[in-house]
Amino acid sequence: MPYYMITAYDTTEKGKKELKAAIHRKDYTMRPNVVKKEHNDEYHKIIWEYEKLTGTGGILNTSLNIHGYPLIGFIKELFFTMDNSYLDIAQCGNYIITKKTK
């Protein structure tokens, strides 16, 4: 399995339930980013502790952009993305930004 989110895989029923935010809504695929301890010990520890607490060994890692748009680099681009996607909460530094309900 490649390490860096370059190949899409079908998800299991458990994955569909527990990693809902990381799964493509149209075809239920996901592009995993495999984290090995020897490559990134600190991030691996975070995921391992999360798995011990929840039983789920996956964390959403996103590029924070809408398909076909560049990565978000400015706060106004985050607002555009939130207005045009299912994203309803984001953290930027010390701020938590939530989408207004209509």
pLDDT in tens, 5-31: 778 899 999 889 888 888 888 999 988
Alpha carbon 40 to chain centroid distance? 18
63 or 12, higher pLDDT: 12
Mean pLDDT of 37-51: 92
Q: Is the dihedral of CA 40, 48, 56, 91 positive or negative?
A: negative
Q: What is the pLDDT of residue 64?
A: 83
Q: How many domains does the chain have?
A: 2
Residue 69 in this model has a pLDDT that exceeds 80: yes
99 plus 70 within the same structural domain? yes
Residue 38 in this model has a pLDDT that exceeds 90: yes
15 plus 45 within the same structural domain? yes
Which amino acid, residue 86? Y
The two tokens of residue 85 are 């996607």
Residue 70 in this model has a pLDDT that exceeds 90: no
Domain interval for residue 37: 1-61
Q: What is the pLDDT of residue 19?
A: 86
81 plus 71 within the same structural domain? yes
68 plus 48 within the same structural domain? no
- The end-to-end CA distance of the chain, in Å, is 42
The pLDDT > 90 percentage for the chain reads 35
Residue 49 in this model has a pLDDT that exceeds 90: yes
94 plus 80 within the same structural domain? yes
As separate numbers, helices (DSSP H) first and strands (DSSP E) second, the chain gives 3, 4
